[in-house]
Amino acid sequence: MKNHLVSILFIILLGILLVNVFAQNNVPQIINYQGFITDKDGKSSSGDFIIKFSLYDRVAGGDPLWQETHNAVKVEGGMFNIALGSVDSTLNTYIQSGQRYLGIKVGNDPELSPRMRLASVPYSLKAEKSAHADSSMYAVHADKAYALDAPDGAPQNAVFVDDEGNVEVAGRVKDKTGFMMPVGSVIPFAGDTVFTAGWLVCDGSAISRNAYADLFKVIGITYGGGNGVSTFNLTNLQGRIPVGYDGGQAEFDSLGSKSGEKAHTLTAAEMPVHNHKNGYYDRLLRYNNGTRTAGSSDNTVNEPDITSSGIISNAGGGQSHNNLQPYI
């Protein structure tokens, strides 16, 4: 009866499961390998099978670099589990550099095609897609890190998690609502220092165009051209609040423009139109004959106090005045 290995499950955080056996250089010597076998009608197989594994340096053709055969592999309900490298421990020698491809042969059937990419970088193992699978998971297990490659292998380390739990993504992160936090986003932060890598304080500093190429691509020299060659300036929000762009208002139609005042002194034109009554107003009078007028008088002879009333001229233009705090 002809059998087909139709799908391979690699486990290490949904990828390869590395058995806890390590060489001195911490590269695992044994890889736990799981598979599922069906017959020609797609029914899961059970019984003892002979499965041969071969390691190549090319996707097709060529001679194997390493081989081992597992006799009497127990298969139950199609599932089996073996440890690569448990028969021939030299596997570790061939997976430490360059791209490697794993060939699988079940019983007397020809080797399955295509071969599976099993590439290795120092201190890591990578598993690529299984034979006949519609989709696949790509994974890396390093000594202190985990990574996922893109389905076609490029880029590698599309998602990388280091030993401190930091996650790096080669592309964009998107949920059902859209892309999350694009480069150039500005957020308020209640701490007194920058809280994590990847963020800078909006203090107008000049920073490297090369080191922060992604940010420079977004904001350019909108907030300052730095030295004009190798640096550019961050947004300076020190003592200012951000105001949204509005192409319909001259005050807000240019990104990076600044205005507003912490304190504003009203001009005469900005004062509301008003007037003042003069109330009791002292007018000093001197009479030639020295005679005092009736009513109260001051202590100076011939300079009586008189009562007078009137309205002085209007002042103020009633115009609107600046009501914007410092902004950018």
Partners of 51 in the beta sheet?
70, 106
Residue that the structure tokens 């964009």 belong to: 172
What's the CA gap between 135 and 156, in Å, rounded? 17
Numbers of helices and strands, H then E, in the chain: 2, 18
| Average pLDDT of the segment spanning 144-170 | 69
pLDDT in tens, 60-109: 899 999 999 999 888 888 788 888 888 998 887 887 667 888 888 888 88
Q: How far is CA 234 from CA 190, 216, 251, 254, 257, in A?
A: 19, 9, 21, 16, 13
**pLDDT score recorded for residue 22:** 34
Residue 271 near residue 316, CB atoms below 8 Å: yes
pLDDT in tens, 233-257: 988 888 887 888 888 988 888 888 8
Tokens of 53: 């594994």
**pLDDT score recorded for residue 251:** 82
pLDDT in tens, 15-58: 233 333 333 344 446 777 777 777 777 777 888 989 999 999 88
Partners of 82 in the beta sheet?
33
- The whole-chain average pLDDT of the chain stands at 70
What's the CA gap between 186 and 170, in Å, rounded? 21
3-class DSSP state of 322: coil
**pLDDT score recorded for residue 52:** 92
Give the pLDDT band (50/70/90) at residue 278. low
Phi, psi for 302 (deg, rounded to 5): 65, 15
What's the CA gap between 302 and 293, in Å, rounded? 8
**pLDDT score recorded for residue 152:** 65
Partners of 327 in the beta sheet?
241, 259
pTM for the model:
0.42
- Amino acid identity, position 288: N
Task: Give the start-to-end residue ranges of the domains of the chain.
Answer: 3-169
